[in-house]
Structure 1
Amino acid sequence: MSPSLRVLYLEDEAADAELVQDTLAMEGIACDVSRVETESGFLTALQQGAFDLILADYALPSFDGVSALKIVRQQESDLPFIFVSGTMGEEIAIEALKIGATDYVLKTRLSRLVPAVHRALREAGERTERKKAQEALRRSERELRQVVETIPAMVWCALPDGSNLLMNNRWTEYTGSSGAGLGWQAALHPDDLQRHMDAFRACSAKGLPFEDEVRFRRADGEYRWFLVQGMPLRDEQGKILNWYGIVTDIEDRKRAEETLREQANLLSLTHDAIFVHDMNLRIRYWNRGAEELYGWTAREAEGKISHELLQTVFPVPLEQLIAELLSNGRWEGEFVRTTKDGTKVVVASRWSLQRDDKGTPLAILETNNDITERNRAEEERERLHQLEADLAHINRVTTMGELTAGLAHEIRQPISATVTNANACMLWLKRDHPDLEEACEAARRIMEDGKRATDIIEHLRSLYKKSPPKRELIEISDIVHEIVVLLQSEANKHSIVMRTEVPSDLPKITADRVQLQQVLMNLMLNGIEAMNETGGILTIKSQFGQDGLLLISVSDTGMGLPAEYSDQIFNAFFTTKPQGSGMGLAISRSIVESHGGRLWATANSERGATFHFTLPATVAA
C-alpha cells in the first residue's frame, strides 16, 4: 500500500477522524487525511486536491454524505467513496450503494474499514479485474434464474418459418385460441414480436437451439412473461425439418429475480458474504464476499447444500429455523461454520424469504458477517474485567491487612466504652435508691457504642468481601465519613489531622459503594504515607460543578509529587514506596473511569500534592 495515500474525510467529529486514521495506520495504510465539515469546505478540497479515496459520515449538522456522493459522482466518477457512519441502516446503505457509493462501514465495526479500503482502492485501479467481476455477475444473474422457475409448460411444434403445427391444450386454456399457423403471434405482446421473430430466424439460419423470453396475453387480456425454448429436428443432410419446444410461465420467477438481483447485486458490492438458496437449501448464487470468507469459488459452491458444504452448527434445530423463517419471512442468528481450509468462523446470519404473488416460497437470500474476532475480543474484555475486579479485591485485602493494628484500635474504643457504660449502669441500679435516669442514659450510650462498633465491622466486611459491582444511589459525605473513621487511628499515629469539607446538600451519585470506598482509602492512605514522618494535614473536599460532575479532592502537605515520575504514577506496578505493589493508583483510576469519571494529580503551590477525581452526579428531578 502506498505510503502517500490522500484521503478526503467528510466528518464533524475530530476524534472519529483520528480513530479512523489510527485504524488505517495500524494495518500499514499511512495516509494524509484532509477533514472537512461543510459543503463549501468539501467543494474547495475537491478542487484543490487530487484524492485517492473519500470517506464520509452519513449525516452532519450542515451537510450530508449522500449530497457529497452525488457531487463526487458528477466530478470524479471513478473515485472510491466509502460511508463511515454510526447511524446508517441497511436500507439507507442500499440506497447509497444505488447512487454510486463504493461501500459502507459502521463506526461500531471499524474492523471492516481496512478490508473495505483495500478493496475500494484495488477495484479503482484494476479495470481488468472489474470487467471479470462484471462478467461473473452477469453469469451469476443467468444462473440465478433457475431459483424460481415454475411449471406448467405449453408444448409446441413449428415449421422452420415459425408456423405452428401443434399447440397443446395448455396453450388453448391460457390464450383462448388454437395458435395454429402464425395465429399464435396474436397473443404475443406487440413490443416483443419483432425481436422474438428476429431471434428465432437467426437460430434457424445457424441451426442453434432457440430460447427467448416474451409476454403472452391471457384470455382475460393480462400479459405474463414466458420462456420460449426450442430444439431443431434435422434430416440426414442437417436440414431443419421442424422445431419442438416448450413455453414456461416465468412471471413469478421474473419478479422474484428482479428483487433478488437488485438485493444481491447491490449487497455484493459490500464485504458481506451473500448467497441464495432454493427451498431445498441448495446454493444457487454465491458472491465474492462468500468466496473470500469461506474459500470456495462460486463454481465450487453453487449446487451444493449450504449447511452440508459449510458444516454449519445451528443454534436451534434446522427444522425450527425453517419453520420460523416460513412464519415470519425473516430469521437472524449466529452460526459456527467451517471454511474450505478447516477454520471455524462465527457468523451473524440474516435470512430473508422470497415469495411469489400467491405467497409460495421461492428462494432464501442469506447474508453473513464474520464476527469471530469480535466475539474473541468480547471474551478477552470480560476476562480483563474479571482480572481487574480480582486485583481490586486483592488490593483492598492487602491494604486492610496493613491497617490491622489501627483498625483493631478503632473497634476496641467503642467496645471499651460499652463495658465502662455497662458498669456505670449497674452502679446506678444497685444504689439504695436506684437512679433510673442515669441508668437509662448509660444504657443509651451502650447502644450508641455498640452501633458504632457494628458499623466499623460492617465497613470492614464490605471491603474484605469479594462480590460483583453493585451500583446504587450514594451520598458522597457518607463514604468520606466511613473512610475517615477507618483511617483515624492511622492518622493519629503519625500526628496527621484529617479535615473534611463536604457539603451535606451535594447531589447523590450512582456508584458501587465498596469500589468508591477503595478509591478514597487508596488516595487518603497515600496522603498519610506522604506525611508519616513529618505530620501534617489531610484535607478531603467535594463540590458540584456546572458541568454536572461531582469533584472530590484529597490533598496532603507532604513531600509532593516527584517530578521525574509524575507521568508514571498511575501505571500498573509502578511505585516509589519500598514495600508498595504499584497497583493502588492504577486500580483507583480504572474504578473511576468505569464510573464515567476521571482521576488525576496536581502539585500544591506550597507543599504536598492533591489527587482529584470526578463522578457524574445524579440530580433529582
Structure 2
Amino acid sequence: MMSLKFLILEDSILDAELITALLAESEIECESIQVKTRSEFQVALERGGFDLILSDYSLPGFDGISALGMARQLCPDVPFIFVTATMGEEVAIETLKGGATDYVLKQRLERLIPAVERSLREAAERRARVVAEAELNRREEEFRALVENSPDIIARFDRDLRHLYVNPVVAQATGKPPEMYVGKTHAEVGVSPEICTLWQSSLRQVFATQKEDFFEYDFPAPGNGIRYYQTRVVPEFNPDGSVQTLLAITRDITQSKLAEQALRAREAQLQQQAEELKRANQVKDEFLAVLSHELRSPLNAILGWAKLLRTRKFSPEIFNRALETIERNAQLQTRLIEDLLDISRIIRGKLTLNPQPINLETVITNALETVGLSAQTKCIELVFEGAGSRESGVGSREERQGGQGGQEGTRGPHDRREWGLGGEGGQGSNSSHQPLATSHSQLPTTNNQQPIVLGDPSRLQQIVWNLLSNAIKFTPSGGRVEVKLQLSTVAPTTTIREQGTWECREQGEEGRGAEKQQLSTVNCQPSQSLALASTIDNQQPTTNYAQIAVTDTGIGISAEFLPHIFDYFRQADASITRSYGGLGLGLAIVRHLVELHGGTVCAESLGVGQGATFRVMLPLLETVEFGIQNSEFGINDTQLPCTGAQPCARTDSRLNNIQVLVVEDDRDTREFLALTLEEYGAQSIVVDSAVAALEALEKSLPDILVSDIGMPATDGYTFIQKVRTLPPEQGGKIPAIALTAYAREQDRDRAIAAGFQIHLAKPVVSDELVEAIGQLISDQ
C-alpha cells in the first residue's frame, strides 16, 4: 500500500506529536508534516501533494476558518478535518458548510482514526466518480463529434482497415467526396504509399493493443500547399470487451505547426538576446569597476598632496609640483564627470547642438594646441596636414619635410604643420610648438572649397580632441600622431562584411595595398535636429564632404574588438592589470556627436601593434560657389568656445572698484570666491543664504551678483526671481551669474529663464569667473 501524506496545522508541539502517535498506532501508513503559521501553511498548500489536512481551530494570529478557506482554494479535493480543544455546535456547522470534512475534539481523540479513514474513503470515492464522469463526458464528446458538422475529419474503420464512414470535411482537405472512401482502404483511394503505411501501422496497433494512438503527417492539399495533420485513433468496443471498430479523428494543425516553428526561432532569438544581456551585464560590471578606479585614483593624489601640504613644509619647486598635481587630477575628475553627463544626455536623447558655420582647420588647430603638452610629455610627434595639396599618398617624413627622401613637390606654406616637441631622436629640447614647411594629400576636391561645416564648435572640437587624446594615450613614447584634413566630392559607402565587421571606402578610391584592412564603421543619416542639408541664404543643399583622419603608430586594434570600438563602456582591456586608463566613453561620444552632425565615423587597423586610423566625414557648406566669405558667416578662425577639454584663453583684466555680492552656502567655496575676487581687485560681500543676500541688497547695491543654485530653504532660481521683482534702485536689474554644480543644458536654460545672465558650471577656475564678471560689467 502506498504511503499517504498528511499535513498537520498545529502550533502545539505536544498536540502534534500526540496526533502523529495515534496515526502511527493505526493501520494507516502515512507521512506527517507539521506547520505552525499561516505562511508555512500556505507554502505547504502551494507545494501540494497532501492526501489529508488536520488543523487546529485556534491558532495565534490565525484561525481555522481562514485555514479552511485557503485549503479549499488551493486544494479543494483534499479532505480537511479540524482537531480542536473547543468547538461549539454553531461553529462546527459553519466549518462543515465551509467545506470541512469532519471535526474531532482533542478530549475525544479516539474518534480521530475513524474520522480519518472515513474521510480518505469518501475522497477516493469522489475521485472515482470524477474519473467516471470524465470518461462519460469524453464518450459524449466523441459521439457529438460524429453527429455534428465537425471541422475535423472523422472516419470509422473495420478490421480490414476499410472506411465505414467519413464525414464531409474530408472533401475540403483532399478534394475527394466522402463517398469515394466508403468501403475502400487508403491505398485504394489513391493516398501516397508513405501516408498509407502510417495509417495501416496505427490502425493495426490499436486493434492489437486496444489502446488509442496518435500520429502526424503532412499532406499536399488542393490549392492550399502543404498542410499538417494530427490523427487520433480510438478503439470502439463490443459488449464482450473486444474491439469492434476504430474511430479516427484527424485535425488540421498547420497553424500550430507553423507557430511551433516560429516559437523555435523565437527561442533561438531569445537565447541570443540572453547572451547579449549577459554580456551587457558583464560590461556594466567592468565599467563600474573601472569607474571606481578612475574616480578614486585622482582623489588619492588630490587628498594625499593636500594632506602633505598641510602637515609639512616643502621647497617652492615641490610645492608648485604638488599644486600642479592637484589641479591636473581635479581637471581629470571634471572631464570624467562631463563624459558621464554626455553619455547620460545621449542615452536620454537630450544632447543638443548649437550649429553655426565653422572652419574645421580652426577646430583641429585648437585641439592640437590642447593636446600638445600631453604629446610632448611622451615625446610623440604631432603632424597636421590641412586641405589643399595634390598628392595622393602620405609619403615618408623626409619627403614631407623636403629632406633626403624626396622633393619639395607641391608643398606650400601654412598647409602642413608639425609640432616639434622636445625629446629623444634628435628633436631638440625646444618645447614650444614649431610649425614647419607643409605639404598635402587629399581626395578630389571642389576648386577653392574651404573646410567649412555647419556644426556646434565646441562639440566639433570635442570630437577632434577625443580622437587625438585617444591616439596619444595608445601611442608609445617616440611615436607619431598625424591629422589630415581632406575634402571630397562624394560620400562614403558602407558594406557589411561576412565576418560581422564593416568596410568603409570612398567611392572611386584606389586600394591602399595588397594587405586587407580590418575596418569598423558607424554610418547614419543626418539628424532631424540639425538640418545639415538645408540652405543658408538660399544656398543649394550641401553635397561635398570634409574628412578628418587621425592616424597613430600606437598599439593598434584587434580584429575581435574592432567591431565594438564605438560601443558604450567598452574597452579592449577592462581588467585590473590594464595598462591604459579611461572609462571607455570617448569614442562612443565621438560616434554620437558625428551622427548628430550628419556625418560618419570609421576605425581602421591592421591589427595589434599596427597603429590605427579614425576617419570622420562631415558635410561641407557650399560657401565658395556663392562668393560668400567667412566674415559673412560670422566665422571665427582663431578662437573657439571653451569646451572643458582645452584651456581657455582668459583676459587678465582686474576688477578694481567692482563690488560683488556672493551667495554661496558652502563655506570652502565662499572662501575661494572671496579670495579670488580680492586677488583681482574686487570688493566682495559674501553671504551664505538667499535671505541674507536680500538683506544685503537692502543695505547697498553691488555691481554684480554671483549666486549658487542649490541652497537650503531658498534655491537660486527662487532667489533671482525675487531679486527681479525689486525696483532697479534696490537691485532689480543687477547683472547676475549662476555659479552651480547643476551643469546640464536644461539647468543652464532654467537659470537664464529665471533671471541670470550667465550660467557657470562648477568647478570653475578663477579666470573664467573673472572673465564672466568683466563681460557683464562691459555690457552695462
Same fold per TM (> 0.5)? no
Using CA pairs below 8 Å that are at least 6 residues apart, which structure has the higher relative contact order? 2
Higher Cα Rg: structure 1 or 2?
Answer: 2
Looking at secondary structure, tell me which structure has more helix per residue: 1
- The normalised TM-score by structure 1 is 0.29
What's the TM-score, normalizing by structure 2?
A: 0.24
Question: Where is the strand percentage greater, Structure 1 or Structure 2?
Answer: 1
